[in-house]
Amino acid sequence: MTSIGILSDTHLVSCDNDFLHRITHAFNGCDIIIHAGDLTDVAILKAFSGKNVYAVHGNMCNLTTQKALPEYRTLIQDGYTIGICHGAGNRHNIEDRMFTLFPQADCIVYGHTHLAVCHTVGTTLFINPGSFQSTGRYGAQGTYGILQINDDGLHGAIHELPWTS
């Protein structure tokens, strides 16, 4: 089984202890990490040392990060195609735009809305991990996704980060 950790909208310029604690809690069993944009600064990806990281930039990323990371990308893992893009614009039709970008994908990972979703449309699994850094709506603590690939196919889930003191 392959476990892929998914996060988005971290909005950080550097790694602090709280972020390092959160990623250890969330992604301890994951060898692959997908960051769906709005890192703000590419330097935070250093926190995932030893893991295979697939990241894209978002609309809030600084110029250095926009130049270092693509706007969108495709990952082939265990025979499945995963499209990755931060997204932009109106949240009400963002999945339509993502599907247009990745019409052959088995799974599409996106961010931007800060609203976590994990559902299937037709044969395509859509995952938006929400906001990892407690910038979600209504005081949400922060969310992330886990994508598992096994003999039964693709399985996604959204998880909430624990409250910090």
**pLDDT tens per residue across all 165 residues of the chain:** 999 999 999 999 899 898 999 999 999 999 999 999 999 999 999 999 999 999 999 999 999 999 999 999 999 999 999 999 999 888 889 999 999 999 999 999 999 998 999 999 999 999 999 999 765 555 667 999 999 999 999 999 999 988 654
State the pTM of this model: 0.94
Ramachandran class of 49: left when φ > 0, alpha when ψ lies in -120 to 50, beta otherwise: beta
Q: What pLDDT does residue 90 have?
A: 85
Taking the C-alpha atoms of residue 39 and residue 98, their distance in angstroms, rounded to an integer, is: 19
Taking the C-alpha atoms of residue 104 and residue 7, their distance in angstroms, rounded to an integer, is: 22
Ramachandran class of 153: left when φ > 0, alpha when ψ lies in -120 to 50, beta otherwise: left
CATH number for 2-160 (one of 3.30.720.120, 3.90.79.10, 3.60.21.10, 1.10.3720.10): it is 3.60.21.10
Taking the C-alpha atoms of residue 50 and residue 58, their distance in angstroms, rounded to an integer, is: 24
For the chain, domain boundaries: 2-160
